[in-house]
Amino acid sequence: MSDDEITSAEESTPRVEPVTAPESTPEAETPPSTPTQTPWWVSDASSSVSTSLTTLAPAKRVIQVTWYIALAMSLIAGVVGALIGKTAFDNSTNLITSNKVIDRAPDSIAGIAARVSPSVVEIDSTTSSGSDTGSGFFIAKNGYIMTNNHVIETAFLAKAKITVKLSNNNEYTATVVGRDTSYDLAVLKIDVSDAPALVLGNSDNVQVGDPVIAIGSPLGLQGTVTSGIISAKNRPVTTSSDNTAGESSFIDALQTDAAINPGNSGGPLVDATGAVIGVNSAIASLGSTIDGQPGSIGLGFAIPINQAKTQADQLIKTGTSHHPIVGMSLDSSFPGPGAKIADTASAILAGGPAAKAGLQPGDIILAIDGQEISVADDLIVAIRSHAIGDTVTLKYQRGTVIKTVQVTLVASQ
């Protein structure tokens, strides 16, 4: 697999109407009158009350009226000034805030993440070639952890220390219980009891469009949560390996658009109930970003948990695991369509399923259980998605003749 492929409300200011001072009536010409009922804020000159007396109004009354007017104007000016001052110099932004508590349902993304995150660990190792960071998760209370083989393989081969960091930042030295390069899986163990093991779901029941959540330590950022959906199923994915045999991993993968980045490898992909349905393993990328590492473009791949738990069970019990085979070698250079059995005498395993079914070197496998085969990797992935002992139907071509045959898968040695 190449790096280019898989890896507000506004506030209104109160209006102040202009105030016009009342006109004064000349004292010498004002006829005497009885006190009027004119309101104090309206000038006597504009009153509709008629006057019949001829004596002058006392000067004191004129003085009193002027005093009331002045007082009123002062009060109005004070209010206007206060409003202007408040508007100009009040530093308060009057932002709208809320103290309401968000009710997060247990099956919300936040609710699921809160439950699952304590079970997810960061896996770190350092060798002469550099440092590696990946993810993993507890699958048993007595400290067993599932992860990808490629997360720990370099450190394992170099006999380097592998450290597991929990969500509470406690660190433990891990031992490798077993690993399976063909499925890119490994099981580690740390010395703890009553670990928060996750529930393993049923990946066969997953449907395209189902919501999923990925949790891990991408680029060393522990406890990162991303969400998305299942984008596709049964994606044949091949990943390279650092093992001395040069064996690659073949995954019949779940595809997701939940962001997965380097360091997410080995972490859980969980469904809407919080059950693990996949082990995040690989991404497709168009290029490099931070420190030369490819970034997510929404094409992530996970090992289906049904496949992973079968291998993990074997690794815990025996330290090794086996995968189903047909007993034939394929020509990886054949461009397709189909997967060609290598045209060599040793291509067919003596006594194996392929030999018993009469398959021969040079035969081209066109389909398995009705699923068309494009290249050799497709056939390998399809076979390894089955269990040992399963019977499959192969459609093949020999020369111009097309035939079908049934074979029962056996365990690899």
265 is catalytic: yes
Whether the Cβ atoms of residue 265 and residue 150 lie closer than 8 Å to each other: yes
DSSP state of 178: E
Whether the Cβ atoms of residue 281 and residue 301 lie closer than 8 Å to each other: yes
Whether the Cβ atoms of residue 284 and residue 236 lie closer than 8 Å to each other: no
Q: 102: how many CB neighbours lie within 10 A of its CB? A: 7
Distances (CA, A) of 195 to 141, 142, 144, 179: 4, 6, 9, 21
Q: How far apart are CA 32 and CA 54, in angstroms?
A: 5
Virtual torsion, Cα 370, 375, 381, 386, nearest 10 deg: 30
Strand partners, 408: 391
Helices and strands of the chain, counted as H and E runs = 6, 20
Q: How far apart are CA 388 and CA 322, in angstroms?
A: 8
DSSP state of 140: S
Whether the Cβ atoms of residue 123 and residue 266 lie closer than 8 Å to each other: yes
Options 265, 281, 296, 385, the catalytic residue? 265
Q: How far apart are CA 172 and CA 123, in angstroms?
A: 10
Q: What angle do CA 385, 386, 388 make, to 5 degrees?
A: 135
Whether the Cβ atoms of residue 236 and residue 384 lie closer than 8 Å to each other: no
Options 132, 184, 363, 378, the catalytic residue? 184
User: Strands 324-325 and 268-270: what pairing?
Assistant: unpaired
Options 150, 182, 217, 281, the catalytic residue? 150
Q: How far apart are CA 115 and CA 113, in angstroms?
A: 5
* 285-299 residues labelled b (16+ CB within 10 A) or e (exposed): beeeeeeeebbbeeb
Active-site annotation, residues = 150, 184, 265
